[in-house]
Amino acid sequence: MSTKKETQNKMQTKQILSVFHRVIELIARGIFLFVAYVKGPAKIQPPIKDLTLLHSASALALKIRSKQLTSEDVVFSYIERIKEIQPMLNCVVKDRFEEALKDARKCDELLKSQDAPSAEFLEREKPLFGVPFTTKDCIAVANMCQTAGLVARKNITVDRDAKAIELMRSAGAIPLALTNVSELAMWWESSNCLFGTTKNPYNTRCIVGGSSGGEGCIQAAAGSPLGIGSDIGGSIRMPAFFNGIFGHKPSKGVVSNDGQYPSAHSDDQDQLLAIGPMCRYAHDVTLTLKILADKKADLLKLDEKVDISRIKIYYMEDDGGQRLISPVDPEIKATMKKVLNYFEKAHNIKATKINVKKLRKGLALWLANMTCKDDKDFSYELTNRQGHINIGLEFIKWVLFMSNHTLVALFTAMFEKCGMKYGSEEHVKLMQESKDLSQEFKDILGEDGVFLYPTHPTAAPMHHEPLVKPFNFSYTAIINVLGLPATACPLGLNKQGLPIGIQVVGGLYQDHLTLAIAEELERGFGGWVPPAIVA
């Protein structure tokens, strides 16, 4: 009887906490709205005047190799667009404009030379020949900074490309700029003490997500034809969702994590981390992933034609009621239903609603997989791996405006210190549950199924609002635990004019299925919503 009563008491306590958290959320939302009202109207991104910016990366590559456009003109168009949006959105932290123009001229000169390669050769061997791209300030680009938003790394310059950047260059692409991130890529708002806060192009009062938030922003604002992000808990998919673009987290172990900082400390962490593409157009995601996967591309069957009507679709509208996490917005649920209706009418697919109970433990499972031995926690990372910060002292310094760290970084360090320990009974139990959940999804999805799931419970919140809803990233984080491929797909704007969408999850190495669904959703729902166009 006492055990039953204890269980009831625990459930009541959890319910009270959830209600209290929801009240705090609503109060905080009201405060943020009032402050925004006092500050004046939100800004939106400037209109597009140069129609070159509306081409997909693959279309640009075709036009460059067929000499309809020059690489120099394309690069120049994007440089001008970045200069136009940067003062308002603050998405770029470092550029290589002059070097990129030089690289572009070399491409154009090669095409004009007697030894010019054929268009067929370029399409096969250098499919992004002459096309610029951007990447987040966590992924190494030779002779550029790699700060990861940490003040202690402000003077660090790397001398070699990350493997992903090396592969992009080999495919003919030209690095253009580095984009803003959250401090050490461990928060879902892109803001740090080095470069400040990046703002949402659809409403500057709102966040762009993190940690690849600057990359999501620059793509949505047409400041880059394609980008490279990294994702350990949703850092590609949340920014893609908040900014209305496509973002893909590949199957675990397919794309090299070499050159990403912070690097993983354990095999468990490395399995969570994935580098992948962020693009306005779904087709560009597939093209870029093929480049990034390199020798493992065949494993993903990206050239295989997919018959949509043969795909089995499973879905959940929410996580089943995880505590201290916002409820899924009704507009997102309504959009999910529209997607299900679309596939039933267009492809005669009757989706199956499932109830995976372990998704209610998504946050706990992710935290267990992130737990490190050897005391290499977040307080260690905040010193640039030179020791551990004094968390109490840093809080005092923050209050006195003397700290080099964001408030959320300090809370993260404190949370980890008080959290579960590697090898503890709780840790071992949760790691086993992670394996059980992986097997459950393997049984559900097989090699012909996809799982539709919210990318996030709400559209982009206002700046600093994530502080009162810190665990909402669990919708993406749990997919990292599973190591499965997931594509964030935009599905238009909500009533407030902010992007919403869903993520499409596939079985291990079934990336081609999630990407095929992404392309189908782009055809059915329009994909990326561009800013106004001035002819």
- Which residues have a catalytic role annotated? 136, 211, 235
CB 130 within 8 A of CB 222: no
- The b-or-e profile of 108-146 (16+ CB within 10 A means b, else e) is beebeeeeebeeeebbeebbbbbbbbbbbbbbbbbebbb
Chain Cα centroid distance, residue 200 = 14
3-state secondary structure of 61: helix
- What's the CA gap between 79 and 85, in Å, rounded? 10
3-state secondary structure of 248: strand
- How far is the CA of 326 from the CAs of 25, 323, 383, 444, in angstroms? 8, 8, 33, 27
Question: DSSP assignment, residue 182?
Answer: S
- What's the CA gap between 5 and 212, in Å, rounded? 46
DSSP 282-340: HHHHHHHHHHHHGGGGGGGTTTS---GGG-EEEE-SS-S--TTSPPPPHHHHHHHHHHH
- What's the CA gap between 441 and 498, in Å, rounded? 31
Centre a 10 Å sphere on the Cβ of residue 54 and count the other Cβ atoms it contains: 15
DSSP 408-477: HHHHHHHHHHHSPPTTSHHHHHHHHHHHHHHHHHHHHHTTTEEEEEES-SSS--BTTGGGGSTTTTHHHH
- What's the CA gap between 235 and 486, in Å, rounded? 12
Tokens (6 digits) for 261: 């900082």
CB 150 within 8 A of CB 261: no
Residues 6+ apart with CB under 8 A from 106: none
Phi, psi at 197, each rounded to 5°: -110, 135
| Amino acid (one-letter) located at 367 | L
Question: DSSP assignment, residue 342?
Answer: H
Residue in the structure block whose two tokens are 């206002």: 462
Residues 6+ apart with CB under 8 A from 8: none
| Amino acid (one-letter) located at 272 | L
Number of helical H runs and strand E runs in the chain:
18, 13
Please calculate the CA angle 349-353-355 and round it to the nearest 5 degrees: 155
